[in-house]
A = this chain, B = another copy of it.
Amino acid sequence: MSTYHPLSEAQAIEYARQIPNLFQAGSDLTSHEIGDGNLNLVFHISETATGKSIILKQALPYAKVVGESWPLTLDRARIESEALLIEESLNPDLVPHVYAYDADLALTVMEDLSDHVIMRRGLIERNQYPLFAEHIGRFLANTLFFTSDLGKNQQEKKIQQGRFINPELCKITEDLIFDDPYRDAETNNIEANIRDAAEQLWADSELHFEVAILRNKFLTSAQALLHGDLHTGSIFIKPDSTKVIDPEFAYYGPMGFDIGAVLANLLLNYAAQEGWSKDTQSRASYRAYLLQTVKYVWTHFETNFRTLWNEHCVDRVFQAPGYQDHFLANLLQDTVGFAGAKMVRRIVGLAHVADIDKIEDAAARERAQRLALAIGTSFIRTNRQVKSIDELIAIATQESAEERGFVL
């Protein structure tokens, strides 16, 4: 047992060397810390002779966001590692392989995915990933189904839920997504140009009512083991491969929160096309791809999830006629509501997305922000009435038409 200390690049090599069956004895290894240093150290360690490489990720005992620093539990490394192992057992091709986990050092040694790119960057570069919807739909269906009372022994599920009590990281979400954007909070990060829109959010008590319902679901609805932070920055991608990473926010929560996170981040990029598309036609074409992807993520998820339910449901009572449809109708509504909350917070809350923030033209950036806010608030407002994924697409399309004065 070692006591916790942040590793140096040299110590990371030492540590990697002692993992069985990874590198050849005595081979030359190089190590580079490639993390952003906000939450974790991330060492890229590779073997000169073979080119073989791994990632060693070590949690830091604090979080730094926009200059602020606050203490943060190292237990999140355990949660991340255990969540990855569960996800891998259900979707071997869709998460990095975990070679080792060390509780004392709060570190995880995992597959190197340097041949992938972070999906957010891929979308900013306006790449298309035709397999993504199938991959993430399957990931969501398998993970959410088999960790829930539908697909997992219900007593084991409760014990597993106890291992994923994650108060500190849940609090970040509770504050930054389900509270601060709806008041004049110090943590908010609002561009001066759209302050009027933020002030509208703060005064909109109908919206606050819906946010309260969503917040309550996040706090109390222990449906399944969530990733908890499934935005496009938590996904490594290349045309033929999708890998979900960084589940340190994992906890038992409402399924729609994870699905909504994926859709929200596709739609944030959709809004960001105000600043990235060279011309109207090219913009329309990439937006059509994004909306199609939004739709396919849901339909792949739903198809997979229904098949799992029909073939592997552990619960006799949940096979009651009509109940599966009822469950999925509610899940779509939750998905829409959470997607809306995820979009709003990325415009007025603490943490933004590069898709929009990196737009250099201030007017285009403002249009993108206003469009994202319009879609997000519309999702929140209507979530409990939505009946199909096409309605969600229609809202996004309609808001962009209204904002921009013409129909796509």
- A interface, CB within 8 angstroms of B: 149, 154-156, 158-159, 161-162, 165-168, 170-171, 174, 178-179, 182-183, 205, 208-209, 211-213, 215-216, 219-223, 315-318, 320-323, 326-327
12 A-B pairs whose Cβ atoms sit less than 8 Å apart in the complex: A149-B216, A154-B167, A154-B174, A155-B168, A155-B170, A158-B167, A162-B165, A211-B320, A212-B318, A212-B320, A215-B315, A221-B221
Contacts of A220 in B (CB 8 A): 149, 221-223
- Name the residue on B nearest A165 (C-beta): B162
> Cβ of B316 and Cβ of A149 under 8 Å apart?
no
CB distance from A208 to the nearest CB of B (A): 4
Contacts of A166 in B (CB 8 A): 158
> Cβ of B326 and Cβ of A213 under 8 Å apart?
yes
Known: A208-B320, A212-B317. 4 other contacts (CB 8 A): A205-B321, A208-B323, A209-B326, A216-B327
> Cβ of B317 and Cβ of A154 under 8 Å apart?
no
> Cβ of A215 and Cβ of B318 under 8 Å apart?
yes
- Name the residue on B nearest A148 (C-beta): B220
CB distance from A252 to the nearest CB of B (A): 8
> Cβ of B155 and Cβ of A216 under 8 Å apart?
no
> Cβ of B317 and Cβ of A179 under 8 Å apart?
yes
* Oligomer: number of copies: 2
In Å, the complex CA distance between A149 and B170 comes to 13
> Cβ of A154 and Cβ of B183 under 8 Å apart?
no
> Cβ of B183 and Cβ of A155 under 8 Å apart?
no
Contacts of A321 in B (CB 8 A): 205, 208-209
> Which 4 pairs, one residue from A and one from B, show the smallest C-beta to C-beta distance?
A208-B320, A155-B167, A162-B165, A212-B323
CB distance from A405 to the nearest CB of B (A): 33
Contact of A154 among B171, B213, B223, B316 (CB under 8 A): B171
> Cβ of B179 and Cβ of A155 under 8 Å apart?
no
In Å, the complex CA distance between A45 and B321 comes to 54
Contacts of A223 in B (CB 8 A): 220
Instruction: Give the one of A154, A182, A220 with max B CB within 10 A.
Output: A220
> Cβ of B183 and Cβ of A170 under 8 Å apart?
no
In Å, the complex CA distance between A208 and B319 comes to 9
Contacts of A156 in B (CB 8 A): 167
In Å, the complex CA distance between A136 and B68 comes to 47
